[in-house]
């Protein structure tokens, strides 16, 4: 049968005569499949993409605030994600039967990434945030619930087995704890890097003006 280019649900567009259609491939980074008509599946499909949104959010926070702590957190998450990719190729354990995703699934990158951020940022809240204990508890609970939701979405969508998620989560938790300890140990050199970042931002004349700049209370 001739190849078809899908323009939307139920709208195949046959190639024009005499025109060679290139082979196509889905972008695996954002490729999510869920049961049509399932609101739960649709919601969890968005949840399973949330680590990508979180990465962009953390990067944006670093650019706006120029606080090295944001870049440090994102750097650790990217490292653990890369380690999972290497281990996947080495272990080569297949995904659950019937999964729409190809390739090995042990350990889960999403589980490692989300749990790493949840643990590391929770420790940052405990150590650095100056606010009421209730607010700290709410922030930490939100981070942990988010990580659990990401793992639940991967299992619901049939992308990972429970074992693959558990190993990824364990790696993320250990790495998050270790990354926080490394941050505390390297506080002096990191402070020097922070001063350099501030100097670069000043040299580039990058400033973010808030709403209250010309409206003092």
Pairwise CA distance, residues 32 & 100, whole Å: 8
10 in helix, strand or coil? coil
Burial of 150 (0-12, 13-18, 19+ CB in 10 A): buried
User: What pLDDT score does 90 carry?
Assistant: 96
C-alpha distances in Å from residue 187, one per residue of 126, 155, 194, 197: 16, 38, 10, 15
**DSSP assigned state of 75:** H
Query: Over the stretch 197-212, which tens digit does the pLDDT of each residue have?
Result: 999 988 988 777 777 6
Q: How many C-beta atoms surround the C-beta of residue 46 within 10 A?
A: 12
Q: Are 32 and 48 in contact (CB under 8 A)?
A: yes
The CA-CA-CA angle for residues 177, 180, 185, to 5°, reads 125
Query: Over the stretch 107-118, which tens digit does the pLDDT of each residue have?
Result: 999 999 999 999
**Which of 117, 64, 67, 108 lies closest to 88 in space, CA to CA?**
108
Taking 70 as the pLDDT cut, the residues of the chain under it are: 1-21, 24-26, 212-217
Whole-prediction pTM value?
0.85
Pairwise CA distance, residues 61 & 56, whole Å: 9
User: What pLDDT score does 215 carry?
Assistant: 62
Q: Are 105 and 159 in contact (CB under 8 A)?
A: yes
């Amino acid at each position: 049968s001739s190849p078809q280019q899908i323009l939307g649900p139920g709208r195949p567009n046959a190639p024009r005569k005499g025109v060679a259609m290139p082979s196509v491939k889905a972008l695996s980074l954002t490729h999510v499949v869920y049961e049509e008509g399932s609101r739960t599946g649709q919601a969890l499909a968005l949840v399973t993409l949330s680590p990508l949104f979180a990465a962009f959010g953390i990067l944006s926070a670093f650019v706006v605030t120029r606080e090295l702590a944001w870049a440090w957190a994102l750097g650790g998450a990217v490292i653990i994600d890369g380690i999972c990719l290497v281990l996947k190729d080495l272990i080569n354990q297949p995904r659950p039967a019937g999964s729409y995703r190809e390739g090995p699934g042990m350990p889960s990158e999403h589980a490692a990434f989300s749990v790493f951020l949840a643990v590391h940022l929770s420790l940052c809240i405990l150590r650095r945030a100056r606010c009421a204990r209730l607010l700290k508890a709410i922030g930490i609970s939100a981070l942990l619930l988010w990580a659990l939701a990401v793992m639940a979405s991967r299992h619901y969508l049939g992308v990972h087995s429970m074992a693959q998620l558990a190993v990824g989560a364990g790696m993320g938790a250990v790495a998050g704890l270790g990354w926080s300890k490394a941050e505390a140990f390297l506080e002096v050199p990191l402070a020097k890097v922070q001063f350099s970042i501030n100097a670069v931002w000043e040299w580039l004349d990058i400033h973010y003006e808030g709403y209250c700049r010309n409206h003092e209370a």
